[in-house]
Amino acid sequence: MAHIVPSSADTPLTGAEPAASPTASASALTPAFSPLYQQIKGLILQSLQSGEWKPSEAIPSEMDLAARYRVSQGTVRKAIDELAADNLLVRRQGKGTFVATHAAQHMPYRFLKLMPDQGNTTSEGPAQRDIIDCKRLRASADIARALALRTGDAVLQVRRVLSFKTNGVFVPTILEDLWLPGGPFKGLTAERLSAYQGAMYALFETEFGVHMVRAEEKIRAVHPDASQASLLKVGPSAPLLSVERIAYTYNDVPMELRRGLYNTHSHHYHNELS
């Protein structure tokens, strides 16, 4: 068990001692301070990463964590506040603090920003998912670079189409190609993807122990090629939104590269900035 013994005032701990040499540079003479709550945040993050507390499970109370790390409850509270702001933890009034999960009812489309023009994702209902392909191959240079792998390492490539109901009819709306590192996702097949009824990221959590905590996206407007147009049932000159996403697990380890084409005929890309 990791322990931190702060001063009586819960002051930040020094991460480095000043250099003894009189000729040392000014930067070397400057101690590296880390606020105490940031240290506690790092220790909680280590426990999340190691799987001590799994997605949807409650973490210990602030009082218990304060005793564990020998700090004040206020310090623990500030660390948890930041983890909650990062969507790694979820506070529930009167119930405690829980590890965030993509399996929660309100979370299945956490990283999906495509919204229907009429209604919302709840009124629209769940997407119809068609797995087109699921195969293992060797990573090309660009795929390896995105996933922090070596060229030629094993990856899993999945292609699927998501169709949403419009006027009572399912319309192909998103075509996705995604690549996953082969090691963590050994055993993932098209059959398992098709059989799982929840969100794909929830499947990654429950069956492969991989929790996606954040993502980065690049967006541009494109036209489809012949194969893409056929799968989305659009013409070759249809305007589509291209969204390339890299999803990360704890400590910014990339675990998925996803390239999606969005048909925005009855949908729009929605994001909130703050």
pLDDT in tens, 254-268: 999 999 999 988 888
Residue 6 within a domain: no
Residue 221 within a domain: yes
pLDDT in tens, 192-232: 999 998 889 989 998 998 999 889 999 999 999 999 999 99
93 and 118 belong to one structural domain: no
* CATH number of the domain residue 158 falls in: 3.40.1410.10
Please state, as a whole number, how many other Cβ atoms lie within 10 Å of the Cβ of residue 207. Answer: 13
84 and 145 belong to one structural domain: no
Q: Specify whether the CB–CB gap between 176 and 259 falls below 8 A.
A: yes
Give residue 122's pLDDT. Answer: 63
Report the C-alpha gap between 129 and 175 in whole angstroms.
Answer: 10
Report the C-alpha gap between 3 and 26 in whole angstroms.
Answer: 31
Phi–psi pair at 215, nearest 5 degrees: -150, 155
42 and 123 belong to one structural domain: no
211 and 127 belong to one structural domain: yes
Give residue 20's pLDDT. Answer: 41
Phi–psi pair at 258, nearest 5 degrees: -130, 130
Which residues neighbour 189 within 8 Å (Cβ) at sequence distance 6 or greater? 134
pLDDT in tens, 97-122: 999 887 755 444 556 677 777 766 66
Please state, as a whole number, how many other Cβ atoms lie within 10 Å of the Cβ of residue 120. Answer: 9
pLDDT at residue 157 is higher than 80: yes
129 and 245 belong to one structural domain: yes
Residue 188 within a domain: yes
Residue 174 — pLDDT band, cuts 50, 70, 90?
very high
130 and 43 belong to one structural domain: no
- The answer to whether the Cα torsion of 61, 62, 64, 69 is positive or negative is positive
43 and 157 belong to one structural domain: no
pLDDT at residue 42 is higher than 60: yes
pLDDT at residue 124 is higher than 90: no
Residue 167 within a domain: yes
Q: Does residue 20 or residue 125 have the better pLDDT? A: 125
134 and 234 belong to one structural domain: yes
Q: Which one, of 87, 94, 101, 95, lies nearest residue 53 by Cα?
A: 101
Domain extent for 127? 114-269
Phi–psi pair at 212, nearest 5 degrees: -80, 120
Structural domains in the chain (count): 2
55 and 121 belong to one structural domain: no
153 and 233 belong to one structural domain: yes
Give residue 15's pLDDT. Answer: 37
Q: Specify whether the CB–CB gap between 248 and 215 falls below 8 A.
A: yes
The DSSP annotation for 144-209 comes to HHHTT--TT-EEEEEEEEEEEEETTEEEEEEEEEEEEETTTTTT--HHHHHH--S-HHHHHHHHH-
Percentage of the chain exceeding pLDDT 90: 55
Boundary (domain end) residue, out of 99, 131, 160? 99
Give residue 110's pLDDT. Answer: 59
pLDDT at residue 12 is higher than 50: no
pTM across the whole model: 0.74
Counting Cα atoms < 13 Å in the Cβ hemisphere of 223 gives 6
* CATH number of the domain residue 31 falls in: 1.10.10.10
Residue 2 within a domain: no
